[in-house]
Amino acid sequence: MSDNAANQGIPDPEGPANVIDTEYEIGQDNIETRLGPFNLDIHNPVFMVSGLTIALFTFLTMAFQNDVGPVFDTLRKWLTSNLDWFFIISGNIFVIVCLALIVTPLGSVRIGGKDAEPDYSYFGWFAMLFAAGMGIGLMFFGVLEPVYHMAFSSPLGVPSPFDGDGNLIEENVAAAKAMGMAATIFHWGLHPWAIYAVVALALALFSFNKGLPLTMRSVFYPIFGERTWGWPGHIIDILAVFATLFGLATSLGFGAQQANAGLDFVFGIPISTTAQVVLIIGITAVALISVLRGLDGGVKVLSEVNMLIAALLLLFVIIAGPTGTLVSDFGANIWSYAREIIPLSMPFGREDDGFRQGWTSFYWAWWISWSPFVGMFIARVSRGRTVREFVICVLIIPSIVSVMWMTAFGGTAIEQVLTNEASQVHEYVIASYSPELSLFGMLADLPMASITSFIGIVLVIVFFVTSSDSGSLVIDTITAGGKVDAPVSQRVFWCTFEGLVAIALLLGGGLGALQAMAVSTGFPFTIVLLMACYAIIKGLRDEPR
């Protein structure tokens, strides 16, 4: 006999949930062994094939980068230019599916069973999903993108407010500014979060409600049936590991370059590969400490600290920047976004190829290539929420935060550019394109620049840590066949491996090439996500509501 339910540590009761009846036992394909003093519990063949493929790709890219680099780059450009319609239509489908889930009765299904209770508070949950999936991007693109779209991209053919000589054309300013913000928010609003939400919801549903392992392949059980546990599933999981590790490692390499540029800008620390390698080692070391402290003691705490610092920086920019304009622009930007979201979502009948293919299509592929990692991490921490609550919190609230961030950082930068031709943002975005310095340029023209720039550098670094630690946990789980309690040495391995790949690519070349390759995985994963939409609806219809 057991203690009564109320006396147990498990949230209770879990209530009815429609568990899938499969003969597959989680971990049945795993190899459990010891390597010296270390225990191993790894999925055969996902762990070995993923590790070896990644090592092989890294080596080949470094050894033959003049041959391999252009191939990967051409592949990425071909996909996002010729299949832009496919990415854009798919992105729209993901948003529509998510919005439909909010308003239909399917939204009342609870992740983890009818009576499951949430594992995390709203703040902890929200901090983790934001810090894992978008923090780095907001730091890099928050200033750059609004100014760039206003000045150069001409989304939907809206003309630039500058003439060929860089002089301001007053009558174009209002429309260009509104479109610059709308286009930026379009890339950081509902669409990317819908991509993450689809993957996260599918994984959470098939794991916590259906009892399947917490790994990408489980989403395909309604389609592949028992073949999910064979090679079709192996390939999906290997591709997820591949996209996640290369996505993280290449971002880490580029992030070290951005942080180094920031350190040079603020403290005069010269830009060098040595400094960048030291930064990668530092980021990886902190990420290692975080994963060794675990999901609650490391990843969650660091994410919360990160979000608090980011919120303080946001508040500072609002107060120190053109406060009145920013406050009124917040509503105006939401309105611009609402007005332009449908025209910007149109895949055909447009002439802004550079913007649509070079930015929108690229972004959708990028978000989708990150979705196995971010989606799986969100899934792991989302048990106990209803589908409606989940979609609102993963789709709507982060989109509003993105609007706030872009309004504050982008709006301040646009104001600086339009009112002062000698502004540093003008210098780094318009006059001489140095995107990695755009954030620091904007902060430099506000009070207390040295302090806020330092905080900016710290935030860039810590956002990389929060992506690196959560990414290591995700890869560890996938390569352990969906087990979340694999031996600690495995998460140490993946975290270290990611840092080593980043250093190898930084020193040997090939960061850009492998990032292009990682983004290219967005194409197969778009197909995966479309199937996931079907699986979600089918899976939810079987659940007790």
Partner 1 sequence: MFNKILIPIDLKHADNLERAVFTGAYLAKQGDIPVVFAAVTTAAPSGLAHNPDEFRSKLAAYAETQAGKHGIQATGHAVFSHDPTIDLEDALLRAIQETGADLVVMATHIPNATDHFWPSNGGRVASHADVSVFLVR
Options 9-17, 154-162, 343-351, 449-457: segment touching partner 1 (CB under 8 A): 9-17
* Interface with partner 1, residue 376, by CB under 8 A: no
Would you say 113 or 322 has its CB closer to partner 1? 113
Would you say 203 or 516 has its CB closer to partner 1? 203
The token pair that represents 135 in the structure block: 């923090």
The token pair that represents 183 in the structure block: 């286009």
Residue 34, helix vs strand vs coil: strand
* Interface with partner 1, residue 207, by CB under 8 A: yes
What are residue 168's DSSP bridge partners?
Answer: 162
Whether a cis peptide bond, with omega within 30° of 0, leads into 13 is yes
Among 23, 37, 66, 164, binds partner 1 (CB under 8 A): 37
Would you say 218 or 369 has its CB closer to partner 1? 218
**Which of the residues 212 through 231 are near partner 1 (CB under 8 A)?**
212-214
Note whether 294 and 470 are within 8 A (CB): no
Q: Which residues contact 17 (CB under 8 A, 6 or more apart)?
A: 112, 113, 114, 208, 209, 210, 543, 544
Distance spanning both ends of the chain, measured CA to CA: 31
Would you say 37 or 324 has its CB closer to partner 1? 37
Among 414, 438, 491, 512, binds partner 1 (CB under 8 A): 491
What CA–CA distance (Å, rounded) separates 90 from 104?
21
Among 43, 217, 426, 483, binds partner 1 (CB under 8 A): 483
What are residue 33's DSSP bridge partners?
Answer: 40
Find the shortest distance in angstroms from Cβ 222 to partner 1: 17
* Interface with partner 1, residue 23, by CB under 8 A: no
**Which of the residues 293 through 352 are near partner 1 (CB under 8 A)?**
293-298
**Which of the residues 97 through 156 are near partner 1 (CB under 8 A)?**
112-113, 119
Would you say 166 or 297 has its CB closer to partner 1? 297
Note whether 180 and 154 are within 8 A (CB): no
Among 75, 397, 484, 537, binds partner 1 (CB under 8 A): 484
Would you say 27 or 232 has its CB closer to partner 1? 27
Return the closest-CA partner of residue 439 out of 196, 259, 240: 259
* Interface with partner 1, residue 358, by CB under 8 A: no
Options 3-11, 151-159, 265-273, 403-411: segment touching partner 1 (CB under 8 A): 3-11
Burial of 490 from C-beta contacts in 10 A (0-12 / 13-18 / 19+): buried
Among 135, 189, 372, 482, binds partner 1 (CB under 8 A): 482
What CA–CA distance (Å, rounded) separates 487 from 525?
29
* Interface with partner 1, residue 9, by CB under 8 A: yes
* Interface with partner 1, residue 10, by CB under 8 A: yes
DSSP code of 40?
E
Among 7, 66, 274, 432, binds partner 1 (CB under 8 A): 7
Residue 29, helix vs strand vs coil: coil
Would you say 302 or 502 has its CB closer to partner 1? 302
What CA–CA distance (Å, rounded) separates 140 from 516?
18
What are phi and psi for residue 35, nearest 5 degrees? -120, 100
**Dihedral angle over CA of 315, 316, 322, 326, nearest 10:** -20
Among 45, 53, 211, 332, binds partner 1 (CB under 8 A): 211
Q: How many residues bind partner 1 (CB under 8 A)?
A: 47
- Alpha carbon 536 to chain centroid distance? 21
Q: List residues binding partner 1 (CB under 8 A).
A: 1-3, 5, 7-14, 17, 19, 25-28, 37-38, 112-113, 119, 207-208, 211-214, 292-298, 380-381, 383, 482-488, 491
